[in-house]
Amino acid sequence: MFNKKVKIRFIEIIVVTLVVTAFITYEISYVSGIDDYISDECWYVSAARNILRKIFNVTPKFTDENITITIEIVSPIDNEQYNNWLYDLKNFVTYGLKGKVLKDESYYVYNDQGNYLPALCVEIPKENLKFVHLAPHEKQYAVGYCYPNANGVLDYLNLEHPPLVKYVIGLMLYLVGDKPILWRIPSILLAAAILILMYLSIRKIIPETNTAIVLGVIAMLVTIFDITFRSLSMVAMLDIYVAFFTYLTYYLALNGLMLPAIITLGLSASSKFNGAFPFLALIAKAIKDFDLYRIILFIILIFMIPITLFLVLSIPLINYLGFETWWANGVIGAISWHLSIKTLGGPPQSAPWEWFLGINPFPLHLVYDPNTGQWVADLIARGNPPLYILTLVLSIFLIPVFKDLPDEGFTYVYTWSTYLFYIVIWFLGARTQYSFYMVQLVPLMYTLLFMEIWYLMTPLNRVLQVLKAWKELLKSLFNVLSKIPK
Domain boundary among 101, 124, 158: 158
Please check whether residues 406 and 278 belong to one and the same domain: yes
CATH of the domain at 51: 3.30.70
Please check whether residues 187 and 151 belong to one and the same domain: no
Residues 6+ apart with CB under 8 A from 170: 48, 49, 51, 52, 56
Please check whether residues 59 and 101 belong to one and the same domain: yes
Does 172 fall in a domain?
no
Please check whether residues 105 and 235 belong to one and the same domain: no
385 within 8 A of 358, measured Cβ to Cβ: yes
If one counts the domains in the chain, the total is 2
Does 431 fall in a domain?
yes
Does 113 fall in a domain?
yes
Residues 6+ apart with CB under 8 A from 265: 245, 249, 275, 276, 278, 279, 282, 302, 305, 306
**pLDDT tens, N- to C-terminus, the chain (486 residues):** 568 888 889 999 999 999 999 999 999 999 999 999 999 999 999 999 999 999 999 999 998 899 999 999 999 999 999 999 999 999 999 999 999 999 999 999 999 999 999 999 999 999 999 999 999 999 999 999 999 999 999 999 999 999 999 999 999 999 999 999 999 999 999 999 999 999 999 999 999 999 999 999 999 999 999 999 999 999 999 999 999 999 999 999 999 999 999 999 999 999 999 999 999 999 999 999 999 999 999 999 999 999 999 999 999 999 999 999 999 999 998 888 888 776 666 788 999 999 999 999 999 998 988 888 888 999 999 999 999 999 999 999 999 999 999 999 999 999 999 999 999 999 998 888 999 999 999 999 999 999 999 999 999 889 999 999 999 999 999 988 888 876
Does 415 fall in a domain?
yes
Please check whether residues 409 and 440 belong to one and the same domain: yes
Kind and range of the H or E element at 450? helix 442-457
Does 31 fall in a domain?
no
Does 91 fall in a domain?
yes
| Average pLDDT across the chain, whole number | 95
pLDDT at position 63 is 85
Please check whether residues 151 and 292 belong to one and the same domain: no
Q: Crossing angle of helices 462-482/442-457, nearest 10°?
A: 100
Does 327 fall in a domain?
yes
Does 131 fall in a domain?
yes
Please check whether residues 130 and 222 belong to one and the same domain: no
Please check whether residues 58 and 135 belong to one and the same domain: yes
- Domain range spanning residue 250? 180-457
Please check whether residues 298 and 444 belong to one and the same domain: yes
Q: How far apart are CA 443 and CA 224, in angstroms?
A: 10
Please check whether residues 132 and 187 belong to one and the same domain: no
Q: How far apart are CA 53 and CA 337, in angstroms?
A: 26
Please check whether residues 153 and 186 belong to one and the same domain: no
Please check whether residues 142 and 219 belong to one and the same domain: no
